[in-house]
Amino acid sequence: MQMTTLSKLSYGLALAGAVSLLSLPAWAGDIKVWHHGGRGDGERGKIAAMLEAWSAAHPDNKAVLEILPEGAYNEQVQAAALAGNLPDLLDFDGPNYANYVWSGYLAPLNDIVPQATLDNVIPSLIAQGTYGPDGKLYSIGMGDSGLGLWANKAMLTKAGVRIPKGVDDPWTLAEFEDALAKLKASGIATPLDVKLNYGKGEWFTYGFSPIVQSMGGDLIDRKTWKSKGTLDGDAAINAMTHFQSWVKAGYVVPAAAGDDSFFGKKTSAISFVGHWMWAAHSKALGDDLVLLPMPKWGDKQLTGNGGWCWGVTKKAKDAKAVGELIAYLLSDPVLGPFMESQGGPPGTKSVTAASKLYGPGGKLQVYADQLSHGIGFPRPVHPAYPVITAAFAAAVADIVDGKDVKASLGKAASDIDQNIADNSGYPPFASK
């Protein structure tokens, strides 16, 4: 949802009041910040307003924001690192931090970010950002995340589809596929939007790997760190065969149809996506919008979690200064309004406790319930993650295009294992 100039100004004035409450030391020099921009103008506009408020209060320490395209973000980070041009404060998708730490890009946050801020961060984000080999924290997110099924209640009711009551009442795989068939028969052109328009990137892994994992597969064996036999095993093949069958049956919105089949054209009844669509969905559907929990595709009910995080690079001119900027971004008056508008589970305990959206009866309580029920399943924290996700995303794209499921997953598994072998197992992650 695009902010008007007036709304950006109002947001900035509110943030200016918030930053003035912080008692910070004086230091000199701009803080260079990279951010991926998010989905749509709303997120990037609000991040910009936050940093503008900080800069207004700290003219000698302005936060200089640069937005990089999300689709090629990791490649640009890698290129900048090789050229020695990383920023002071780096935004990145959570699972990539293991590669960045292993490569020597990031500094531990334990002695950089104020302890009071660290103590307030929710446990799932501390767990995501803690690097196994040394036990230190390298990333902090402003929020956590989760998947769900946004649904048009009127369409489901008309088609005679059962509406789950909460996290403990999910659809099974059979119910989910029956719902798609009923919705199609009721006249809904393409009942399911899985955001294929996002393209062959991180969304394909974040969004669709929980289907594989729910059915007993995974992207890689998390003990041996081998992908062959897991990503191309029977469970994963079964999961992605079902996924391909939804496309072949005409249930899934094609990539070329764009982003608004659910909330704009209303030619879809279910949108399989995350919290970031809350604003657009709620504005368009009002009381007809309902958020359903992740189905129990197999023996487990799972959702992806984690998301974009902040980290301080070893190139930072004044790491303590950058740590104070992180503290500002995670302070209640700054983080609270941002997370309410974006829809993601807040990244701090205090903002979560005060949230109108995530408390009992809140419109987005399902996301909080899924995390508190242990349904969140992190993507593999391994230095090879950029290769793992790229290989799986390529396989998904091929499967959507109708190519052989087993062969597509087999190629992905081989590519992953070859990269790990080429890097001698990424010690200390190498299996024994």
**What is the per-residue pLDDT for 6?**
31
How confident is the model at residue 276, as a pLDDT?
A: 84
- Here the contacts of 114-118 (C-beta below 8 Å, separation 24 or greater) are 114/323, 114/324, 114/327, 116/327, 117/326, 117/327, 117/330, 117/331
Residues 6+ apart with CB under 8 A from 296: 170, 171, 172, 173, 214
Determine how many CB atoms are found less than 10 A away from the CB of residue 168.
Answer: 10
How many Cβ atoms sit within 10 Å of the Cβ of residue 49?
23
Q: DSSP label at 259?
A: S
Report d(CA 15, CA 11) in Å as an integer: 6
Dihedral, CA atoms, 121, 123, 125, 128, nearest 10 degrees? 150
pLDDT at 148: 95
211 close to 392: Cβ distance less than 8 angstroms: no
Confidence (pLDDT) at 43? 85
Percent of the chain with pLDDT strictly greater than 90? 73
The per-residue b/e assignment along 235-252, b for 16 or more CB within 10 angstroms, e otherwise, is bbbbbbebbbebbeeebb
pLDDT at 70: 77
- Residue 304 neighbours by CB under 8 Å, 6+ apart: 145, 146, 147, 206, 207, 209, 210, 376, 377, 378, 379
- Tell me which residues of the chain have a pLDDT lower than 70: 1-28, 39-41, 431-432
Distance separating alpha carbons of residues 314 and 102, to the nearest angstrom: 13
Residue 378, pLDDT score: 86
pTM of the model: 0.82
| Domains contained in the chain, CATH given | 5-144+306-372 (3.40.190.10), 147-303 (3.40.190.10)
pLDDT value at position 396?
98
Q: Which amino acid is at 10?
A: S
pLDDT digits (tens, 9 = 90+) for 374-423: 888 889 989 999 899 999 999 999 999 999 999 999 999 999 999 999 99
pLDDT at residue 208, rounded to an integer? 98
pLDDT digits (tens, 9 = 90+) for 94-134: 888 999 999 999 999 999 999 999 999 988 889 889 998 89
pLDDT for position 195: 97
Helix axes 332-342, 319-329, angle to 10 degrees: 60
Task: Tell me what pLDDT residue 201 has.
Answer: 87
